[in-house]
Chain A
Amino acid sequence: MPNVNINPDDVMIKLRGLKKIFGSQDVLLDVNLDIRRGETMVIIGQSGSGKSVILKHMIGLLQPDEGEVAVDGITISTPKYFDARTIRRKMGMLFQMGALFDSMDTGENIAFALREHHPELTEAQVQKVVTDKLKLINLVPEFRVKMPSELSGGMRKRVALARAIALSPEILLYDEPTTGLDPITSDVINDLILDMQSKLGVTSVVVTHDMVSAFKVADRIAMLYKGRIIEVGTVEEIKNTANPFVRQFITGQRKITSEEE
């Protein structure tokens, strides 16, 4: 169900004319998208279409060749913008494979950034935050001593999510959160994404090609096709769209049918 509390004019992330070329490959040609404060925006598109590249532009891991990226009113895509860390503290990201620090246990993974950014916290306070975040993702505190190598794919993503929310971000970016997981574990992750929005009130951007997940978590869905956003709409609007490319993708057809063409 669309979140009724979202103000359509309150834009949290703004992408304008985003262009990115890797070598001879044109990945993004002209991406324009507004993500509203508090909403969950799902970006769908084929594998290799550049969805993750958009996400990395939002958090400043990549700089566009042309165009503008603004987060909470601050343009982060110009060379003049040096203090990327300030804006990153507002954001958390769940990587496709979790990207947990292999040399640290679960508790250390969650606490590491917290200790560095908040040296004023006592060890007891840090451990309380770790416990709270583990509870938030439905894991028992005893989990903190597990090493990443001992965790299953779903567990790794849950711990990675706990790490992403440790600094209480306002924006959460999810890169293919359900890829490689079985349907039941995928649903657990979907529920967690919904929980994060309802309990923490974060703005979420989810990149996926898993339509079950997209329809469950999205307030709005944007479709990336050949370097451009070709459709943006609510779940219902996307389900009933007349755009043949969007219909082809959401129904999983190999070819566009003649009727739709």
Chain B
Amino acid sequence: MSWWRYPIEGIGKILISGISNIGEIVCILIRTIKCIPYVHKNVGLIVKQMVSIGVSSIPLLFVTSIFTGMVATVQAEFQFRDLVADKFVGTAACKMILIELGPILTALVLAGRVGSALAAEIGSMREKEELDAYTVLGLDTYRYLALPRFVAFITMVPCLTVISNCLALIGGWIVCVLALDITSYTYYTGMQYLFQPMDLWAGVIKSFVFGVIIFVLGYYHGIKAGAGARGVGVATMNVVVSSCLMILIADFALAAVLFK
């Protein structure tokens, strides 16, 4: 056997594994979407997941959003100082927060908090044979486990992004009034200046896609989790890393589509 076969075989194996993983992820998404007609029968489970994913994340988002808004505003004021009028601080902060900072930071925070929790929960259920128990009882795991989480993710991530945007703008306002000597009126008129509804909608559309990414990667890494505590630990790490990467890549792709 020639030595050059090994690197070629290695590359081949990586390619096959990568394509196979993408195929499995797409299958998860399709099988979950196919269960959407059963949404009305799973309202209780969906509400439970919405509370777990959405409501429970608000305290963490409150802190991250307020401080993100404050930092964005301080930086905008520092960069624009002596160059443009104070009202443009509000304009810059609003644009930054609505289009990029709000959706991206919310998605990254949720990937860490609920994406990893999803992988750990599903991985643990798999380890304890609960997933097999669903199947044996004739219950579709996609309908009872994946669908409620999917619906919760695609609805709560956009909602949380809007809440995060509001909180970040309030953070910017607080720092303007208390530290930067910019009046509320100046900040408010600056926010309105150059504002377009698309700024807000772009963030909401992005956050919907980010919700799909966090769900599907969290579920995928959960059902693929290895045995034992180490397996679940690795799965949670993988979901955070892969979600963050995919969120940033998707953000670039969506920016190119939405703002061309």
A residues neighboring B (CB under 8 Å): 56, 59, 61, 85, 88-89, 91-93, 95-97, 99-102, 112-113, 116-117, 163, 167
Contact = CB atoms under 8 A, between A and B. Distances in A.
A88 B138 contact: yes
A95 B138 contact: no
Contacts, number: 44
Nearest to A117: B138
Given A93-B136, A96-B129, A112-B137, 4 more contacts: A113-B138, A113-B139, A117-B138, A167-B138
Contacts of B135: 61, 88
B245 to A, nearest CB: 29
22 contacts: A59-B136, A85-B138, A88-B137, A88-B138, A89-B138, A92-B136, A93-B133, A93-B136, A95-B129, A95-B132, A99-B129, A99-B130, A99-B132, A100-B130, A100-B133, A102-B128, A102-B130, A112-B137, A113-B137, A113-B138, A117-B138, A167-B138
A95 B136 CA distance: 10
Nearest to B45: A103
* Most chain B CB inside 10 Å of its own CB: which residue of A61, A89, A99, A112: A99
Contacts of B129: 95-97, 99
User: Which 7 A-B residue pairings sit nearest by Cβ, starting from the closest?
Assistant: A113-B137, A99-B133, A99-B129, A85-B138, A93-B136, A95-B129, A88-B138
A102 B120 CA distance: 14
Interface string B116-160: 000000000100111011011111000000000000000000000
Interface residues of B, number: 11
Nearest to A101: B130
A59 B129 CA distance: 14
B138 A99 contact: no
Contact of A116 (B125, B132, B136, B139): B139
B137 A167 contact: yes
Nearest to A114: B137
Contacts of A89: 138
A236 B233 CA distance: 49
A100 B132 CA distance: 11
B191 to A, nearest CB: 43
A32 B202 CA distance: 61
A72 to B, nearest CB: 16
Contacts of A96: 129
A95 B126 CA distance: 12
A99 B135 CA distance: 12
Nearest to B130: A99
* Most chain A CB inside 10 Å of its own CB: which residue of B128, B133, B137, B139: B137
A61 B130 contact: no
A101 B133 contact: yes
B97 to A, nearest CB: 36
B35 to A, nearest CB: 13
A112 B130 CA distance: 13
Contacts of B128: 97, 99, 102
* Most chain A CB inside 10 Å of its own CB: which residue of B125, B128, B132, B138: B138
Contacts of A167: 137-138
* Most chain A CB inside 10 Å of its own CB: which residue of B130, B136, B139: B136
Nearest to B136: A93
A91 B136 contact: yes
A197 B135 CA distance: 24
A100 B125 CA distance: 10
A88 B136 CA distance: 6
B36 to A, nearest CB: 17
Nearest to B132: A61
B137 A95 contact: no
A159 B260 CA distance: 59
Contacts of A88: 135-138
B66 to A, nearest CB: 33
B51 to A, nearest CB: 13
A95 B127 CA distance: 12
A61 B137 contact: no
Nearest to B124: A102
A174 B128 CA distance: 15
